[in-house]
Amino acid sequence: MHNFIFNITGGLALFIYGISIMGDGLQNVAGDKVKAILKTTTSKPLIGVFIGTVLTSIIQSSSATSVLVIGFVNAGLMAFSQALAIIFGANIGTTITTQIIAFNLTHYALPILAIGFFIYFLCKHRVLKNFGYFLLGFGILFLGLSIMTSTLKSFATNPILRTIFIKYSNNYFLAILAGTIITAILQSSSTTTGIIVTLATLDLINLKGALPLILGCNIGTCITALIASIGTNLNAKRTAISHILFNLLSTLIFLPFLKPFQNLISLTSSNIARQCANAHTIFNVIGTLVFLPFIDLYAKFIIRLMPGKVKETDCLETKYLEPHLLNTPSIAIDAATKEAIRMLVLTKKMLQLIIQSFNTRNLNYIKTIDQKEQIVDARRYAITNYLISLMEQQINHQESIKIPKLMHIVSDIERIGDHMVNLKELAEQLIESKLDFSPATLTELNKMETYIRKMLNYAIKALSNKKTHKISKINTIKTIYNIEESINKLRDLYKNNHIERLTKRKCNVQAGIIFIDIIANYEKIGDHITNIGQAVV
pLDDT at position 89 over 80: yes
Positive or negative, the Cα torsion across 86, 88, 89, 94?
A: positive
On the question of pLDDT at 477 being above 70, the answer is: yes
Q: Could you give the angle at the alpha carbon of 536 between the alpha carbons of 532 and 537, nearest 5°?
A: 120
Compute the average pLDDT of residues 403-428.
91
CA geometry: angle 89, 289, 302, nearest 5 deg = 70
- What's the pTM? 0.55
434 pLDDT tier (thresholds 50, 70, 90) = confident
For residue 415, pLDDT beyond 90: yes
pLDDT one-digit tens code per residue, 502-531:
676 666 777 778 888 888 898 899 889 888
Question: Distance between CA 356 and CA 346 in Å, rounded?
Answer: 15
- Provide the b/e sequence for 266-289 (b: ≥16 CB within 10 Å): eeeeeebbbbbbbbbbbbbbbbbe
Residue 100 reports pLDDT greater than 60: yes
State mean pLDDT over 345-367: 88
Are residues 418 and 508 located together in one domain of the fold?
yes
Q: Are residues 116 and 43 in the same domain?
A: yes
pLDDT at 55 over 80: no
Position 327 confidence tier, pLDDT thresholds 50, 70, 90: low
Is 2 contained in some domain? no
pLDDT for 314 equals 42
Same-domain check for residues 65 and 111: yes
In a domain, residue 6? The reply is no
Q: Determine the Cα–Cα distance for residues 499 and 460; give it in Å rounded to an integer.
A: 36
Q: Can you give the pLDDT at residue 347?
A: 92
Judge whether 148 lies within some domain: yes
- Which of 7-21, 70-84, 259-273, 450-464 has the weakest average pLDDT? 70-84
Is 245 found in the same domain as 347?
no
**SS3 breakdown of the chain: % helix, strand, coil, rounded to 5?**
85, 0, 15
Q: CB neighbours (10 Å) of residue 408?
A: 13
CATH number at residue 446: 1.20.58.220
Instruction: Calculate mean pLDDT across residues 157-163.
Output: 58
Q: Residue 296: which pLDDT band, with cuts at 50, 70 and 90?
A: confident
Q: Which amino acid appears at position 485 of this protein?
A: E
Query: What is residue 33's predicted lDDT score, i.e. its pLDDT?
Result: 53
Q: Answer yes or no: do 332 and 280 share one domain.
A: no
For residue 437, pLDDT beyond 90: no
Interatomic CA distance for residues 537 and 533, integer angstroms: 6
Residues 178 and 233 in one domain: yes
- Amino acid type, 228: A
234 and 375 together in one domain = no
DSSP label of 203: T
pLDDT digits (tens, 9 = 90+) for 455-470: 888 888 888 765 555 5
Side-chain-side CA neighbours of 266 within 13 Å: the count stands at 10
Measured between alpha carbons, how far is 167 from 201 in angstroms, rounded to an integer? 18
Report d(CA 72, CA 452) in Å as an integer: 29
pLDDT of residue 32: 45
In whole angstroms, give the CA distance from residue 456 to residue 480: 9
296 falls within a domain: yes
* H/E stretch holding 323: none
Mean pLDDT, rounded, for 420-439: 86
Cα 324 from Cα 304, distance rounded (Å): 31
pLDDT cut 70: percent of the chain above it:
80
Q: Does 337 lie in the same domain as 251? A: no
For residue 334, what pLDDT is reported?
82
Give me the domain span that covers residue 197.
18-305
Question: For residue 156, what are the CA distances in angstroms to 3, 161, 205, 529?
Answer: 16, 7, 10, 69
Q: Are residues 384 and 500 in the same domain?
A: yes
The whole-angstrom separation of Cα 421 and Cα 243 is: 30
Task: Specify the number of domains making up the chain.
Answer: 2
Last residue of a domain, one of 275, 305, 335: 305
Task: Say what the pLDDT of residue 154 is.
Answer: 60
Task: Check the CA dihedral 514-518-520-524 and report its sign.
Answer: positive
Mean pLDDT taken over the chain: 79
